[in-house]
Every structure is written in C-alpha cells, then in structure tokens.
Amino acid sequence: MGNGFDPHLTPTQRFGRELGRARREAGLSQERLGIHLGVSTSLIGHIETGNRKPGLDMAARCDELFKTDDHFTHLCRNITAPTGPRWYVRWSEEIEPRARVLRCWDPLLVPGLLQTENYARAVFRGDLATSEQEVEDQVSARMRRQIILTKDGPPMLWALLDEWILRRPIGGREVMYEQLDHLATVAGRQNVKVQLVPHDTFCTAGLMSGFVLAQMPDAPTTVSIESAGEGEVSAEHNLVTTVWDRYDRLRAEALRSSLSLEMIKEARDQWKQQT
C-alpha cells in the first residue's frame, strides 16, 4: 500500500494520507468510514489532513476494515516514535517492515533486531550527548521494530556476528547474560539463523562497517550501511552488489548455525558464572 516514501511528511501526515487513499479505494465517504470505525466524520477529516493523531485502537480497526495486515498499526506506532535521521526513518518505516529476507552483518554489536532492552539501553547511553529521555525513546523504538520477527509471515533473518560480540561487556555481566540468553532463544526460531564469524578468521571484508541487505517482494534489494557519521540507504545496483559480495565472503568464513548456537550458549553460561 502507498506509492513511495515522502521524507517531507510527518508520521501523522503519512497516516492521514494512507487513510484517505484506502478510504477512496474502498469507495467510502468520510461519513461512512466514521460509521465503520465508530468515530465522527470531522475526526476522519482532521486525521486525513494530518491535524489530529489517531489512536492505536482506531489504527487496528482500519487494518481490520481494509484488510491491510498491520499497515495502519505500524504507521500509528511511528507517530510516537522518535523520527531520527531521514535515512533511518526511511529504513525503519518503509523498507525493513516490508522485507521478505534480511541479511545482516555486525562486527561490533548484537544487531538491533535481536537486542534486549537493557543491552540496547547500554548501547544508546554510550552517546554522552543523549539525554535519558532520548535514550528511553530510542530503546522503545528499537523494541517496536522487533515486532516484524513475530508477525504473521515474518521475514527470514540471516544474521552474521563477529565472535567477539559474545565477549564484549556491553552494560555489564547481567546485561550480557540476559542478551545472550535472548539471542540463543531467538536463534532457535524457524525464521532466524545466527552464524558467528570466528575472531581468528583472516577476513577483513566486514571490518569497515555493519550493513543490512533487504530483499523486497516488489522492489529492488536495498542496503543500509552504518557508519560513524550518517548512515546510508540505497538500492543502487553497484553498491548492493558490492555489499552482497562482502556478505557472501563473510558467510563463507562463518561457522554453521548449530555450532554458533552452542558457542552462544557457552558464552552465556560463562557470563552467568561471573554474576
């Protein structure tokens, strides 16, 4: 649904635009839609123009009425989420939720889709210029993103992690135990495969940055590349091909998922013994 991402729209305006489009495609007037949703005609008008914010209950009723899975629910959640840089908003709102397959590599941290709240909180607190409220907003937004892994018809996630991630003390011993216990649990799901790249592997292909490749059902494969400055999201063919080649070289060096899971559990138990 929708005809592309417009970075000039606020999340509230984006919800209103999508609601108006769905209503017109269904052949409903604002008055009839209001009757179906149990709200006034004026409220529908204000929401469609971006002057009023919808509630989650109304968004859920929209998804039920228009048979749009969790499209409106997702848009509604983004209204209260921190917007962040444009490249990140585009990724988290338009690309990641629609991906059929996600392939990621991270040389430093557990990927965001697999993080616990406390681990994510420790990561965000690393930016000393971020206030405590901003940290909590970022943690909440990260947890909401993870809904895509448990929804009906979730994407397949192939996650490559550097082995040293299991040893790096992010947030302390209890946080690391909790994080690795969660990672072991999630890695047991049918739609999630986690593979460790051994620390002694002579493969420098992935040391420059982390990245995620998103295979889309109705659009070109898109890549998100993290950096110390501003990240980048692109579907440019040459860049995607380069990153995919890097991913393949890393995966060729990675341990099989069953052995990786054993190592994650072993590292988890070691952190437990230290608490």
Residue 3: the pLDDT is 47
Domain closes at, from 65, 80, 95: 80
Residue 76: the pLDDT is 87
The secondary structure of residue 38, as a DSSP letter, is: T
Residue 81: the pLDDT is 55
In a domain, 118, yes or no: yes
In a domain, 3, yes or no: no
Residue of 223, 197, 198, 195 lying closest to 211 (CA atoms): 223
Residue 117: the pLDDT is 95
Residues pairing with 212 in the sheet: 104, 224
* 57 and 111 assigned to the same domain: no
* 143 and 25 assigned to the same domain: no
Q: Which domain holds residue 160?
A: 86-274
In a domain, 223, yes or no: yes
Residue 51: the pLDDT is 84
Domain closes at, from 54, 80, 106: 80
* 41 and 124 assigned to the same domain: no
Record the tokens describing residue 218, joined without a space. 């109705």
Q: Cα angle at 12 between 8 and 18, to 5 degrees? A: 85
CATH number, domain containing residue 24 = 1.10.260.40
pLDDT at 84 over 90: no
Residues 6+ apart with CB under 8 A from 201: 253
* 128 and 17 assigned to the same domain: no
Burial of 32 (0-12, 13-18, 19+ CB in 10 A): middle
CB atoms within 10 A of CB 193: 17
In a domain, 6, yes or no: no
* 69 and 175 assigned to the same domain: no
What are residue 224's phi and psi, to 5 degrees? -115, 125
* 68 and 169 assigned to the same domain: no
Look at strands 192-197 and 156-162 and give their pairing.
parallel
Output 4 or 43, whichever has higher pLDDT.
Answer: 43
Sheet strands (E) in the chain: 101-106, 156-162, 192-197, 211-215, 222-225, 232-234
Residue 172: the pLDDT is 94
Stretch among 74-83, 103-112, 130-139 having the lowest mean pLDDT:
74-83
* 132 and 250 assigned to the same domain: yes
pLDDT digits 0-9 by tens, 91-130: 887 789 889 999 999 999 999 999 999 999 999 998 776 7
* 160 and 130 assigned to the same domain: yes
In a domain, 213, yes or no: yes
C-alpha separations of 146 from 38, 44, 66, 141, 143 in Å: 30, 30, 24, 9, 5
Q: Give the DSSP letter string of 89-148.
A: HHIIIIIGGG-SEEEEEESSS--GGG--HHHHHHHHTTSTTS-HHHHHHHHHHHHHHGGG
Residue 94: the pLDDT is 78
Residues in the chain: 275
* Total of domains in the chain: 2
In a domain, 5, yes or no: no
The secondary structure of residue 189, as a DSSP letter, is: S
pLDDT at 80 over 70: no
pLDDT at 262 over 90: yes
* Model confidence band, residue 270 (pLDDT cutoffs 50, 70, 90): very high
Tally of CA atoms within 13 A in the half-sphere of 135 that contains its CB: 16
Residue 72: the pLDDT is 93
Q: Per-residue pLDDT averaged across 220-228, rounded?
A: 86
Residue 181: the pLDDT is 98
* 236 and 101 assigned to the same domain: yes
pLDDT at 12 over 90: no
* 182 and 205 assigned to the same domain: yes
* 140 and 258 assigned to the same domain: yes
pLDDT digits 0-9 by tens, 16-49: 999 999 999 999 999 999 999 999 999 999 999 9
pLDDT digits 0-9 by tens, 160-219: 999 999 999 999 999 999 999 999 999 999 999 999 999 877 666 666 789 999 999 888
* 159 and 90 assigned to the same domain: yes
Domain closes at, from 34, 60, 80: 80
